[in-house]
Chains A and B, each alone.
Chain A
């Protein structure tokens, strides 16, 4: 007979606990740091690239950040701190700080805000006719324009665009990463989007993406 108390069903279902990667790295389990790298390196690279707009600098920053993360997790942070560490925002914050340091040390001309530029900075743009075999090309051109428009945003707008739309972070996570509040970030993301859209509209790229 089945036990009427439990209804014969297992009361709890074993869900494999998501690995606490920070803790695994702290304990130096084999392959843990490699897993961390596999999981985050592309996202971190995109973020650094979003801030610096230079793939070589971005690579350097990501490597530095990963080395620092490894050192901190294995040698500097104790077990408790690793256990409650929000790994993703922490890694992004490291990359952010290092990127901003790097940017400060070599200010690039790209960092002037968009409205100071003549529209030509976005390059000549020829809109091809809609439809047919050209629509693929049009889309590619649109993507290129979008990329350039993002590159010309002021850096604080640019990083929010990357975090929110490329990495698809929640506002709560972005708040942890850049050190702000969710409400403030909603406004900032909105303004960043508006800047981006205005720039695109001036070039005739509309909502076709």
Chain B
């Protein structure tokens, strides 16, 4: 082996990174060549001196690690920031963290929910919730934000269909897309996605099981069985003979119509043909 070849391998030899045959031939060369052998010590000395030059980082970057807070109420995990509520779910803590990271790219630290937020969330979980907690959902796109806002306006004890929601957000044809955002609702219970049901009857699917959705609706005072009966007959809207106003079946005003004055309709066009006007409260332009 020539000196030139040996010299380029001296450093790798020092840390034992050469393969065995190569290592032995370099070793062999060092035994016979004094100047190359010296250069090994030389490299060792230099390596040592350079290592000693390493500096500690002048500033710790620990504080750049972004994180929000996490607390639990009953069996529900609640993530929040100083600005408001960020995510709610009923799942394991690990799963919650992973989903949170996917959505927001931030870690969660355990902390206590502020008193007022806690009160509001607890109320929402129990199906009461008059005062809405503040939300901090920063990267929702336009449609998602609108869907969440419209859903929040569905009153307790009432339900609306997915197509009604699509109409509300100004995308009457994008029912599927709207329904996807309902399904992906990041703050369930607080934004009442359980109050959106299929127009064809039944309570529909729910992230935590349709059984829970049905229970929650019943607890809020929705007559689920009657809704199903109406859906079976194809009745989507209910009008009143006396006022000539047409409503969604669960609208507070529709529930006051006396039995003998109820007029069932299949859709809004049929109702308008008969000289009815849509209720201004539940806005049944599509149902």
Contacts and interface: CB of A to CB of B under 8 A. Distances in A.
A63 B61 contact: yes
Contact of B54 (A34, A46, A209): A46
Interface string A45-73: 11001000001000100110011001100
Interface of B: 7-12, 15, 17, 41-43, 45-62, 64-66, 94, 97-98, 100-102, 105-110
Interface residues of A, number: 51
Contacts of B50: 146, 150, 161, 165-166
Classify the interface of chain B: helix, strand, loop or mixed. helix
Given A70-B65, A165-B50, A182-B17, 19 more contacts: A27-B98, A28-B107, A30-B110, A32-B107, A33-B107, A41-B61, A42-B57, A55-B58, A62-B61, A63-B64, A75-B102, A166-B51, A167-B54, A168-B15, A171-B17, A190-B7, A190-B10, A197-B42, A209-B45
A62 to B, nearest CB: 7
A37 B62 contact: yes
A135 interface: no
A74 interface: yes
Contacts of B101: 26-28, 74-75
Interface string A166-185: 11101110000000001000
B144 to A, nearest CB: 17
A187 interface: yes
Contacts of B60: 37, 41
Given A45-B57, A74-B105, A146-B49, A37 B42 contact: no
A147 interface: yes
Most buried by A among B46, B97, B108: B46
Nearest to A79: B98
A28 B43 contact: no
A70 B66 contact: yes
A41 B57 contact: yes
The 9 closest A-B pairs by CB, nearest first: A209-B49, A28-B101, A165-B50, A45-B57, A75-B105, A190-B8, A42-B57, A28-B97, A41-B57
Contacts of A146: 49-50, 53
B51 A28 contact: no
A26 B105 CA distance: 9
A38 interface: yes
22 contacts: A27-B94, A28-B98, A28-B107, A29-B97, A37-B60, A37-B62, A41-B60, A45-B55, A62-B61, A63-B64, A74-B102, A74-B106, A74-B107, A143-B49, A165-B46, A165-B47, A167-B54, A186-B11, A190-B8, A190-B10, A197-B42, A207-B41
A30 B102 contact: no
